[in-house]
Structure 1
Amino acid sequence: MWVNGKKKVEALEYSRALQFGDGCFTTIAVISGKALMLKAHLKRLRENCERLLMNDPDFIKLENEINSIAVKQKKAVLKVILITSDGMNGRGYSRGCNHASTRIILLLPWPTHYIKLQKTGVRLFTSPIRLARNPFFAGMKHLNRLEQVLIRQHIDYKGGDEALVLDTKGIVIECCTANLFWRKQNDIYTPCLNESGVEGIMRNYFITQLVASGQVCNIANYSREDVLQADEVTICNALMPVLPVYAIDNVYFNTGLLYKQFYETCCKYYNLHCNDHD
């Protein structure tokens, strides 16, 4: 673990992040010594800091720190966490007069199970845990992840791979750790995230690529039934980076054109930005 560029081993036991979830984070794929989509990750962190009223954590230093760690890795994951410093000795909600931000970088092993799931596909179960609707926090990857913890518990209990997650009004939002796309005939859809959910790096990348190729990605509020009527469903995040869905509950799907298009898009990106990809 690196804290403000210095390697640390002690826990931040009085951290506001620990007590209140006061901060934000992003998870970056590292392949062949390069932090993939780094500009997009830094842009999201900057926007999240602004929305959380956090001071600038010095993004130039942060980018240099990420690159210096990534360059030594063939395949790994960097989790970058930005938290507010303890301005009130770790007590009370107020940040006090100390609004400085702390940069934390965790070096984690590469998740190898995604390779298998690219071949077998994933099964989603509809989660009984609903996401709260709050436009102020919608799209952000803040440190308050208790909803996702409980969603993951349900996935483990059901024996599935991921979850289809709805909000408190029954609108489809995302998965536990991924965003969602689906295709019905030639039409492509993904949920609107104006009220809840996480605006994923890969989600935005795929939307941009669809627009660039002249395709329309319909972004609106959809029900579970809308998704179940799809011809195919895919999920994505920065590490997967895209996986086909073979079933949601007891409804089954075939891998099709959308997954192949997204997969080929990822391969082109990796081949362009990495020395090798395995």
Structure 2
Amino acid sequence: MIWINGEPQQQIAVSDRALHYGDGCFTTARLQQGSIAWLEAHLLRLQEAASVLLIEGVDWTLLKQEMLHAAKCWQPTEGVLKVILSRGSGGRGYSGAGCHQPTRIIMLFAAPGHYAALRERGARLMTSPVRLGINPQLAGIKHLNRLEQVLIRTQLEQSDADEALVLDTKGRLVECCAANLFWRKESQLFTPAISGAGVDGIMRRRIIALARQHGYACQLVQEAPQTLANADEVFISNALMPLLPVRQIDSWHYSSRTLYQRLLPDC
């Protein structure tokens, strides 16, 4: 099911800048019994990204109404709602002059079926040979330029791993292909600082806040992957998982789920 600018349809103008330049942003939310999990957080994410990308003219009240309407149209208990915002059509070349009406796209999908099994056995990660470029101006937001992730996923699908451990071009930990990364060493919790590359996920923000409530002050760090060799516990997150334990990264193995089990009920 797809709505474009509030109308049920599956066709978009070939002049739309999302098609030409990836000029836009998106968010992906979990549907639960007709409700959108963390709706306000998803709207805030879109607003922050639109601000960074200088996309103006979005009717946020209308978009929220359209998201709620779409969620009520989904009959299964769980599902996925994806929202794409583009600058729309207009301008010539890279110039966005003349783009007065952003394009709103809302899509519904079935919920991923493999996360339940991964929660039981734990995810296995492999270090991706694809590195993320460093761009502080775009770091954190979920913009439409996802070619790095496409390449990471293509490499991952040639292995038997469940997810990819992703580094930046300086060899520092950033995230996974479609998830944020956390690790615990004794009473200290760590996650990569999303300052030059990667996505500052909705669940990443929530986990940092929840961990603090459990007495774990999360440190945002820039570390080489070797730091994970000494971790007591590793887990990953995104809005759909929402939280998965990691049992193995390359040759390193993990068995503890201490903090994961404390956080999961509130995720």
TM-score (norm 2): 0.96
- Alignment partner of 2:195: what SS? coil
Rounded to whole Å, the distance in 2 between the matches of 1:166 and 1:60 is: 37
Specify the alignment match of 2:258 in structure 1.
Answer: 257
Q: List per-residue Cα deviations over 1:121-160 (Å, max 9, x = no partner).
A: 1110001111011100000100000000000011111221
Rounded to whole Å, the distance in 2 between the matches of 1:13 and 1:154 is: 30
- Alignment partner of 1:111: what SS? coil
User: Which residue identity lines up with residue 87 of structure 1 in the other structure?
Assistant: G
Give runs of aligned pairs for residues 232-251 of structure 1, distance below 5 A: 232-251=233-252
Structure 1 position 7 matched with structure 2 position 8: yes
Q: Which runs of 5+ in 2 are unaligned?
A: none
Rounded to whole Å, the distance in 2 between the matches of 1:255 and 1:136 is: 36
Specify the alignment match of 1:272 in structure 2.
Answer: none
**Post-superposition, which runs of at least 4 consecutive aligned residues in structure 1 deviate over 6 A?**
none
Structure 1 position 100 matched with structure 2 position 87: no
Specify the alignment match of 1:226 in structure 2.
Answer: 227
Q: List per-residue Cα deviations over 1:202-261 (Å, max 9, x = no partner).
A: 000111112234421111111101122101100000000011111101111114212112
Structure 1 position 78 matched with structure 2 position 81: yes
Rounded to whole Å, the distance in 2 between the matches of 1:255 and 1:152 is: 27
Matched length:
264
TM-score (norm 1): 0.92
Give the CA deviation at 1:112. 1.1
User: Which residue identity lines up with residue 179 of structure 1 in the other structure?
Assistant: N
Rounded to whole Å, the distance in 1 between the matches of 2:12 and 2:49 is: 24
Specify the alignment match of 1:154 in structure 2.
Answer: 155
Rounded to whole Å, the distance in 2 between the matches of 1:133 and 1:98 is: 28
- Alignment partner of 2:70: what SS? helix
Give the CA deviation at 1:11. 4.2
- Alignment partner of 2:209: what SS? helix
Question: CA RMSD of the aligned region, Å?
Answer: 1.2
Specify the alignment match of 2:40 in structure 1.
Answer: 39
Rounded to whole Å, the distance in 2 between the matches of 1:128 and 1:6 is: 41
Moved more, 9-18 or 202-211: 9-18
Q: Which runs of 5+ in 1 are unaligned?
A: 267-278
Specify the alignment match of 1:49 in structure 2.
Answer: 50
Q: List per-residue Cα deviations over 1:147-181 (Å, max 9, x = no partner).
A: 00000011111221101100011110000000000
Rounded to whole Å, the distance in 1 between the matches of 2:260 and 2:212 is: 16
Specify the alignment match of 2:59 in structure 1.
Answer: 58
Structure 1 position 211 matched with structure 2 position 207: no
Moved more, 12-21 or 193-202: 12-21
Rounded to whole Å, the distance in 2 between the matches of 1:193 and 1:178 is: 12
Q: List per-residue Cα deviations over 1:92-132 (Å, max 9, x = no partner).
A: 11112223211100111110111111111111000111101
